[in-house]
């Protein structure tokens, strides 16, 4: 079984930027506490205030799926419903 890696970025609309920035530390903390989370980093781009770079590693597909489900039903899922996501995910097909 191989780990799942997600890397990429999100683009946050101006109208949602404040809410996303307020909720981000909570989202990071909750995710890092999830069983199977190895690395979870979300950082705001210095050159573009609306871009946040994302890098995640989970021990396996099940841990990653659990994370995705939790996010869908969280405040983070709600405040990021309008963001554009640009991700590459590896390890799901192995």
Tens-place pLDDT, residues 7-42: 999 999 999 999 999 999 999 999 999 999 999 999
pLDDT band (50, 70, 90) for residue 94: low
The widest CA-to-CA distance across the chain, in whole angstroms, is: 41
Cα–Cα distance between 15 and 82 in angstroms, integer? 9
Tens-place pLDDT, residues 64-81: 999 999 999 999 999 999
Domain 4-90 is found in CATH 3.40.140.10 = no
pTM: 0.92
Residue 1 scores a pLDDT above 70? no
């Amino acid at each position: 079984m191989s780990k799942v890696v997600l890397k990429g970025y999100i683009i946050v609309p101006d109208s949602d930027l404040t809410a996303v920035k307020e909720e981000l530390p909570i989202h990071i903390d909750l995710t890092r506490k999830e069983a199977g989370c190895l690395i979870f980093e979300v950082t705001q781009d210095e050159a573009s205030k609306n871009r946040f770079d994302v890098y995640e590693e989970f021990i396996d597909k099940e841990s990653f799926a659990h994370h995705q489900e939790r996010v869908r039903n969280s405040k983070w899922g709600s405040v990021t419903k309008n963001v554009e996501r640009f991700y590459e995910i590896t390890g799901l097909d192995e």
